[in-house]
Amino acid sequence: MLYLDTSALIKRYVLETGSDNLRQWLQSEETAGRLVFTSVLTFAEVHSALMQRRNDRSLTKRKFEVCRQSFDADWSRTLSPIALDPEVLLIVRDVVSLSLKGADAVHLASAIWLSKTLALALRGDKSDSLTFATSDKKLAKAAVASKLKVFTP
């Protein structure tokens, strides 16, 4: 299973270093029928990132619309958002000690919560463990410190 923070997921819609790596990983997850997770926060962050690129003209109006529609379709069909419920928020309180920004703490806490939930459900079977995808070096380091497997596109 794969958890995507916004810095990784945006690579699906906008060509950046690592976009091909991310798209290949997502294709393998889809082929295997595995779920792809992210935080509900990602919805706002991706739309904001796309709008910033539209405003700085690194995306044309047409490309912006295509990216936005593609993301909205993925959001409703293929992404599994994790809510900011009390269990996740308790983890946020703990991971901010890793000197993370608020949004990064939410992503890491969501992935930690998912990893723990998955471990309980699988009862020790690590064949379908969680991978945390991020392009943020500081967040990747915090994820490793939190004992998550990390993929950096």
Q: How far apart are CA 113 and CA 132, in angstroms?
A: 12
| pLDDT in the model for residue 126 | 55
Give the CA distances from residue 129 to residues 8, 53, 126, 151, in Å, rounded to whole numbers and listed in that order.
Answer: 19, 34, 5, 13
Q: Where are the domains of the chain?
A: 2-151
Write down the mean pLDDT value for the chain: 93
Asked whether the beta carbons of 117 and 3 are under 8 A apart, the reply is: no
State the CATH architecture for 2-151.
3-Layer(aba) Sandwich (3.40)
Give Dmax over CA atoms of the chain in angstroms.
Answer: 49
Average pLDDT estimate for 130-143: 96
The SS3 call for residue 125 is coil
Asked which of 23-32, 81-90, 115-124 is least confident by mean pLDDT, the reply is: 115-124
pTM summary value: 0.92
pLDDT of amino acid 118: 83
* Residue 129: pLDDT band with limits 50, 70, 90: confident
11 has a pLDDT exceeding 90: yes
